[in-house]
Chain A
């Protein structure tokens, strides 16, 4: 159900305001040492470079020539479905997994052969990583103890870090006495205590419930920004990746499919896989115009409209052919039709555009937007929907709301304030926003 809120937050631009209350509080509490400058790499921040990493388990290639560069102080999120190699990449960087070939450089120095305990990286695991026999304070002090810090100093430092994550009053409690979110906070404090050069986060929020997850997510981000630690974050949750990272790398089959700022990945996905994995996407049947093709993009005809094609690099499209057009729900425009058939409620000036008639079959409220499912008679779904649009596949299955399953379905995100006249069963005119679209093989 956590996904229900996803779409609302995904809108480009929602990423900016990371520095919320948690950040302000943390900044107030910063005693010394870290300078407190926001979004500036710490003095000792290092860059990371993964070069052509390969790692195979039997015949399965977990890493297939992965190359990735992370700037000092940057937070990069690796996003992908399970088995795409994102965790292997993180574990290779941590030193728990040795790549078959390739190089790992931190601060320009090759550490490929350095064992995990000499790499100086703080890591937060998925769950259950706190030492059950130690208190929260003992856990945070663990790494300091290994570094030979005197008992009093490591206690003071551990207490300081617990305060940083807002758990000063839980210092004496054992992990089993803490909630999941508190445990992960302690784990974060423990990882930060050793002042690592690199922070590794291995799906640290995946075991938490939605509310705690969102709060801790913001807190991790503000801490990371303030401390300026170079960070690699691995997740399968697109909302997490988009809202947290400076850059998001979408992985598939051991390689990076695209790596760019969250807004770019969402708005200009380089491949159909990225488009469908990040956010929800509609697949509509279209036909590439022969005219204007070449590397320049060209146009595509889809539900009676002609739209420019987003440049895709090495796409599988050939010209003059049937394709699937990928359209985000917020790029689908709906205008209510009165029973006679003419357009009635006109929104965004879109009613002037040509469109196709459809019928609202389902509505789900998602806060600021309402997701509306519209049935398009006579237009079949183009191809099998990928990961991101599982919704469409399910909805169009026989026995679903589509009835016979013949008609295509399209989902549109409509501002909740304007959704009033789009009741279930209402006739609507469906058109697409005039912006470049991504096409793929049907």
Chain B
């Protein structure tokens, strides 16, 4: 109702304020602004080009090197040789297995925790967020020793096998997975949805499996991809703990068979990329706005 009475006061108060810049705008401002636009667009292209060179050049070089023949020509020899190289299958299988375990642990740990924190303990969000950044700051050696310390006295099948790496990787993947999930949760009205489910008679299992997970699909897929990509490429920890995973195998082969090792790298690059595309496609299939990779820091 204030609007009715205010009709007279508003034009009187706003007139001089809005009027003047509008008059000044077109007369004085156009030409410099156009020039600035051209300049800024030139800069934009330059930066884009530099970035493209920075990322694409190494890839192109790797590809070219992996295709090179012993006699100076080009062939797929290196790629064919991958299969013959001893240890390839087992190393790859170890890494894939680790990746799957890590993904399961990460999602199983983060989704319920984040849901609970979001709904019940919102004041804990800052704390959780800070904790998830720590793995980026703490050197891998410290993490490795920390996890080993924490698992002291654990059964041998765990400590005595590469499976222990999965627990290390959960920590490493935390910053990325957290951010992806956090963006997903931020994009839906989680509280209302959960309350709606509860008022319809749903318990916590319904909440988690029928409401939270389906509506965080994109975010969960994003977290999965990031985690998987990280595990498939992690070298430092596996090497420190002396387990043979796919990345350590690649490095090992590089010492003797440079061509093969680069071929494997290129192959894994394309595989990861294909995986990413597949998941993006799955995440977007219903045409909903995607939260995929929404909050992931660049890199």
Interface pair B199/A121, CB less than 8 Å apart: yes
Interface pair A174/B288, CB less than 8 Å apart: yes
- Judged by a CB distance under 8 angstroms, whether B196 is at the interface is yes
Closest B residue to A396 using CB positions: B5
- Judged by a CB distance under 8 angstroms, whether A142 is at the interface is yes
B202: A residues at CB distance < 8 A:
117, 142, 146
Among A126, A146, A362, the residue within 8 A (CB) of B201 is A146
**Residues A117 and B203 in contact in the complex (CB < 8 Å), given A131-B193, A400-B9:** yes
**Residues A391 and B193 in contact in the complex (CB < 8 Å), given A121-B199, A133-B215, A174-B286:** no
Interface pair A132/B199, CB less than 8 Å apart: no
Q: Smallest Cβ distance from B144 to chain A, in angstroms?
A: 40
Among A6, A123, A128, A391, the residue within 8 A (CB) of B2 is A391
Q: Smallest Cβ distance from B6 to chain A, in angstroms?
A: 6
A278: B residues at CB distance < 8 A:
none
Q: Smallest Cβ distance from B222 to chain A, in angstroms?
A: 16
- Judged by a CB distance under 8 angstroms, whether B8 is at the interface is yes
A121: B residues at CB distance < 8 A:
199
Interface pair A400/B196, CB less than 8 Å apart: no
Interface pair A132/B201, CB less than 8 Å apart: no
Interface pair B192/A116, CB less than 8 Å apart: no
- Judged by a CB distance under 8 angstroms, whether B118 is at the interface is no
Q: Smallest Cβ distance from B20 to chain A, in angstroms?
A: 21
Scan residues 376-395 of chain A and give those whose CB is less than 8 A from a CB of chain B.
390-392, 394-395
Among B8, B193, B196, B197, the residue within 8 A (CB) of A401 is B8
**Residues A400 and B200 in contact in the complex (CB < 8 Å), given A96-B195, A125-B192:** no
- Judged by a CB distance under 8 angstroms, whether B154 is at the interface is no
Interface pair A129/B192, CB less than 8 Å apart: yes
Among B2, B6, B195, B217, the residue within 8 A (CB) of A133 is B217
Most buried by B among A133, A200, A394, A395: A133
**Majority SS at the chain B contact face:** helix
- Judged by a CB distance under 8 angstroms, whether B189 is at the interface is yes
CA distance A115 to B194 in the complex (A): 14
- Judged by a CB distance under 8 angstroms, whether A280 is at the interface is yes
Interface pair B192/A142, CB less than 8 Å apart: no
**Residues A128 and B192 in contact in the complex (CB < 8 Å), given A117-B198, A399-B9:** yes
Number of contacting residues on A, CB 8 A?
A: 49
Interface string of A154-169 (1 = CB under 8 A from B): 0000000000000000
Number of contacting residues on B, CB 8 A?
A: 31
Q: Smallest Cβ distance from A275 to chain B, in angstroms?
A: 15
A191: B residues at CB distance < 8 A:
199-200
Interface pair B195/A147, CB less than 8 Å apart: no
Interface pair A116/B188, CB less than 8 Å apart: no
**Residues A400 and B189 in contact in the complex (CB < 8 Å), given A117-B203, A131-B211:** no
Interface pair A390/B206, CB less than 8 Å apart: no
**Residues A133 and B199 in contact in the complex (CB < 8 Å), given A128-B189, A390-B2, A395-B5:** no
Interface string of B83-108 (1 = CB under 8 A from A): 00000000000000000000000000
Interface pair B199/A116, CB less than 8 Å apart: yes
A125: B residues at CB distance < 8 A:
192, 195-196
Interface pair A123/B5, CB less than 8 Å apart: no
- Judged by a CB distance under 8 angstroms, whether A153 is at the interface is no
CA distance A397 to B2 in the complex (A): 12
CA distance A6 to B1 in the complex (A): 9
**Residues A146 and B8 in contact in the complex (CB < 8 Å), given A132-B288, A174-B286, A391-B2:** no
Most buried by B among A120, A132, A371, A397: A132
CA distance A126 to B5 in the complex (A): 29
Q: Smallest Cβ distance from B193 to chain A, in angstroms?
A: 6
CA distance A390 to B5 in the complex (A): 9
Interface pair B201/A143, CB less than 8 Å apart: yes
Among B1, B203, B214, the residue within 8 A (CB) of A280 is B1
Among A119, A130, A364, the residue within 8 A (CB) of B4 is A364
Among B6, B193, B211, the residue within 8 A (CB) of A394 is B6
B17: A residues at CB distance < 8 A:
none
A285: B residues at CB distance < 8 A:
none
Interface pair A194/B201, CB less than 8 Å apart: yes
Interface pair B1/A3, CB less than 8 Å apart: yes
CA distance A376 to B202 in the complex (A): 61
| Closest 3 pairs (CB-CB, A-B) | A143-B200, A394-B5, A395-B5
For the complex with contacts A116-B195, A118-B201, A133-B217, 18 further pairs of A-B residues with Cβ separation under 8 Å are: A94-B195, A96-B195, A116-B199, A117-B201, A117-B203, A122-B199, A125-B195, A130-B196, A131-B196, A131-B214, A142-B210, A174-B286, A194-B200, A364-B4, A371-B4, A392-B5, A395-B5, A401-B5
